[in-house]
Amino acid sequence: MAKKSSTPEPVIETPEEPTVGKGHATPTRKEREAANQRPLVPTDRKLASKEARAKMQVQRDRARVGMANGEEKYLPMRDKGAQRRYIRDYVDARFNLGEFLIPAMFVVILLTLVPAPEVQAGVMLGLYAFVVLVIADCVFLGWRLMRKLREKFGADKLERGLRWYATMRALQFRRLRLPKPQVKRGQYPQ
C-alpha cells in the first residue's frame, strides 16, 4: 500500500505577458484590394464557359434527382411541407380512376374515326359517364383526405389548396408524377 505524502505539490505560475496588437501589421488598402482582385473576363473564355456549363449541369442533375426522390430541399414550393407529403403518399397508395382519363380520351379519339354514328354516339356517352365517375372519385378523395388531414394535423392548421393538389396528382399517370411515388399501392400513410 502506498503512503500519501502530506506535502502539496508546488503550483508553478507563469507570469502573464500582455499581448500587444494582433501579432501582425494591418494590411494597407492597396494590399487588400490587390488580394481581392480577380479578372472580370477569364483569360481562356472557352474553357471558363465550358466549366461553368458543366458545373450548372451537375447542379441541375442533382436537383432533378433530388426532386424526383422527394427531397424537401429540391422540391418546388407547391410540394413542400408535411401535409403535401402526406397527400402525395395517400394519393400514390390509392387506386385512382383519374389515371386512366388520358388513355380513355385516346381510345375515344380513335373510336370517333369509325364512320358509324351509333358507335360515335355510344363512345361519347361512355366518355361522359367515365368523366362523371372520375369527378365523383376525385370528390370522394378530397372528402376522405381532408378528414384524415384534420385528424392528423388539426383543423385549424390545414393549408389552402390541399384538395386541388390531391386531385391534380390523382389525375396524372403514376409513372409521370413528380416527385415520384415513394410508397407502393396499398401502403397508406399513418
Number of independent structural domains in the chain? 2
148: containing domain: 81-170
Cα–Cα distance, 35 to 24 (Å, whole number): 17
| Residue 135 and residue 104 share a domain | yes
Tens-digit pLDDT profile for residues 97-115: 999 999 999 999 999 999 9
Three-state secondary structure of 137-178: HHHHHHHHHHHHHHHHHCHHHCCCCHHHHHHHHHCCCCCCCC
pLDDT band at 5 (very low <50, low <70, confident <90, very high): low
91 and 147 both lie in a single domain: yes
Residue 16 confidence (pLDDT) above 80: no
Average pLDDT score over the chain: 90
Percent of the chain with pLDDT over 70: 90
**By C-alpha distance, which of 101, 98, 86 is closest to 183?**
86
What are the backbone angles phi and psi of residue 20, rounded to the nearest 5°?
-105, 125
Chain centre to alpha carbon of residue 75: 2
166 and 135 in a common domain: yes
Residue 30 lies inside a defined structural domain of this protein: no
What are phi and psi for residue 131, nearest 5 degrees? -65, -40
In which band, very low, low, confident or very high, does the pLDDT at 23 lie, cut at 50, 70 and 90?
Answer: confident
Tell me: do 139 and 97 sit in the same domain: yes
Alpha helices, DSSP H, located in 69-116? 82-93, 101-111
Which of 79, 95, 125 is the last residue before a domain boundary? 79
Angle at alpha carbon of residue 152, lines to 148 and 158, rounded to 5°: 85
| Bond before 179 cis per omega within 30 degrees | yes
Looking at the chain, the whole-number percentage of residues with pLDDT higher than 90 is 77
**pLDDT bucket at 40, cuts 50 / 70 / 90:** confident
Q: In this structure, is residue 4 part of a structural domain?
A: no
Average pLDDT of the segment spanning 43-67 = 93
Specify if 150 maps to a domain. Answer: yes
